[in-house]
Amino acid sequence: MSDLGALGRIVAVASGKGGVGKSTVSVNLALALAAEGARVGLVDADIYGPSIPGMLGIPPERRPAMTPAGKVEPVRAHGIGVMSMGMLTGDDAPAVLRGPMVTKYLRLFIADVDWGPLDWLVLDLPPGTGDTQLTLAQSFPLAGAVVVTTPQDVSLKIARRGARMFEQVKVPLLGVVENMSGFCCPSCGTVSDIFRRGGGEKLAEALGAPFLGAVPLSAEVVDCGDEGRPVVLAHPESAPAAAYRAIAAALSGRAPAAAGMPARFAFDWTPDAGARAESRAPQPGAPADTPLAVERRDARTLGILWADGRDQRIDVRDLRLACPCAGCVDEVTGRALLDPATVPLDIAPARVASVGNYALSVSFTDGHSTGIYTWPKLRGLAAVEVEEL
């Protein structure tokens, strides 16, 4: 697997619904970042409906090669590396895949590709809040997400849901882009507000996120997308190209390295399992449910140090009894399905690992390993009473 630290800032470009121009934004944003001198990779994460190769003018017969080390080489287009299902299946062949195979391809496109050192890896997500979004949030240290919307009320409402999903999995919302923000007349340059105007700014304000910019609808954008010549390259003097460059500049200052503990860690439950943290110093202003350390305190105790200074100790059997998976808790009613009498008194974790930026997964010695404990869930568990000496 590739060194994820060499991939730079991994940014997901998302939308709540299709048809808002998210892929067009992804392509032009990636190229605008590259024009700033950055090393950029672009992943078409829409496995079922890939469109990036066509937008970049990559011919259907062009396939990624393999390195001598057995890694996939991304296709180079306009100075950036690109991976897409469209380069594996051909122009018209459908990707007929079940969910687990989609997850496999997503991980391959990111972790098993010889990207080389990058400053940015832009992920063009499919619309919605399904398996792809969750897989990426759980598997990779995302620096944040950019939400694309149009000014229409229906688009804004659905975009809000998508943004809330990222909040739940602790992926920072880097900002909102309003696409198709008025129609730019090719003759006189006048902008007409076909879909209203200002909806993206209001959405950003409601989400407490930056408004990165508005991109007008232009015939140049449509033609360039169909012809495989992105507008930032084909018409750099146009209003849409200027908007994309401004969005890239704004994003460059709003995608810092992840704060708090590392996004990915794992350790076996052994006496030499050390603390997994960047800093044990409490962080003023950080959310209370941001962990600074997760560690094995002793054979029966999981310790978590939180950003507000709380030092929590959780009994490992209590941890198993609190498993939130569908086998232990009814997903509809919330009724407990796990019989405590079936959980051995000496049960212990076998392995502890992070899940994205927002949770822990724990494999237990009874073979159970399907529970995902979110940070708020863990923080709400009863702490072990420790006697002061």
Give the model confidence (pLDDT) of 132-161 as tens digits: 888 888 888 888 999 999 887 777 888 888
Q: Report whether pLDDT(91) > 70.
A: no
* Residue 364: band (very low, low, confident or very high) from pLDDT cuts 50, 70, 90: very high
pLDDT at position 134 is 84
CATH number at 188 reads 3.40.50.300
Q: List the domain range (segments joined by +) for residue 77.
A: 4-252
Q: CA–CA separation, 153 vs 151, rounded Å?
A: 6
Amino acid at 359: A
Is 112 strand, coil or helix? coil
Q: Report whether pLDDT(386) > 70.
A: no
Percent of residues, the chain, with pLDDT higher than 90 = 45
Q: Report whether pLDDT(230) > 80.
A: yes
Q: Report whether pLDDT(312) > 70.
A: yes
Top-confidence residue, 385 or 58:
58
- 13-22, 49-58, 174-183, 195-204: which range is least confident on average? 195-204
53 and 103 in a common domain: yes
109 and 241 in a common domain: yes
Q: Report whether pLDDT(98) > 70.
A: no
Section 285-300 average pLDDT: 86
Q: Which residues of 144-173 are buried (b: 16+ CB within 10 A; e: fewer)?
A: bbbbbbbbbeebbebbbebbebbeebbbbb
Read off the tokens for 284: 């003023």
Q: Report whether pLDDT(3) > 70.
A: no
Q: Which of 252, 279, 306 is the last residue of a domain?
A: 252
Q: What is the dihedral of CA 118, 81, 140, 296, to 10 degrees?
A: -40
Top-confidence residue, 167 or 313:
313
- Let me know if residue 327 belongs to a domain: yes
Section 346-371 average pLDDT: 92
Q: Which of 252, 282, 301 is the last residue of a domain?
A: 252
pLDDT at position 212 is 93
334 and 275 in a common domain: yes
- Let me know if residue 144 belongs to a domain: yes
- Let me know if residue 261 belongs to a domain: no
Q: Report whether pLDDT(217) > 70.
A: yes
Distance of CA 277 to the CA centre of its chain: 21
314 and 229 in a common domain: no
pLDDT at position 195 is 67
- Number of domains making up the chain: 2
214 and 183 in a common domain: yes
- Let me know if residue 25 belongs to a domain: yes
- Let me know if residue 81 belongs to a domain: yes
Q: Rounded to the nearest 10 degrees, what angle do helices 22-35 and 219-227 cross at? A: 80
- 189-193, 200-204, 379-383: which range is least confident on average? 189-193
pLDDT at position 239 is 87
Amino acid at 344: P
* Residue 285: band (very low, low, confident or very high) from pLDDT cuts 50, 70, 90: low
Contacts (Cβ under 8 Å, ≥6 apart) of 228: 54, 55, 56, 57, 58
293 and 215 in a common domain: no
Mean residue pLDDT across the chain? 85
Contacts (Cβ under 8 Å, ≥6 apart) of 101: none
pLDDT at position 96 is 58
Q: CA–CA separation, 117 vs 207, rounded Å?
A: 33
Within 141-192, where are the H helices?
Answer: 153-168
pLDDT at position 259 is 41
Q: Pick from 255, 260, 374, 257: which is nearest to 308 by CA?
A: 260
Section 290-317 average pLDDT: 92
Q: Which of 229, 252, 275 is the last residue of a domain?
A: 252
- Let me know if residue 386 belongs to a domain: no
- Let me know if residue 152 belongs to a domain: yes
160 and 51 in a common domain: yes
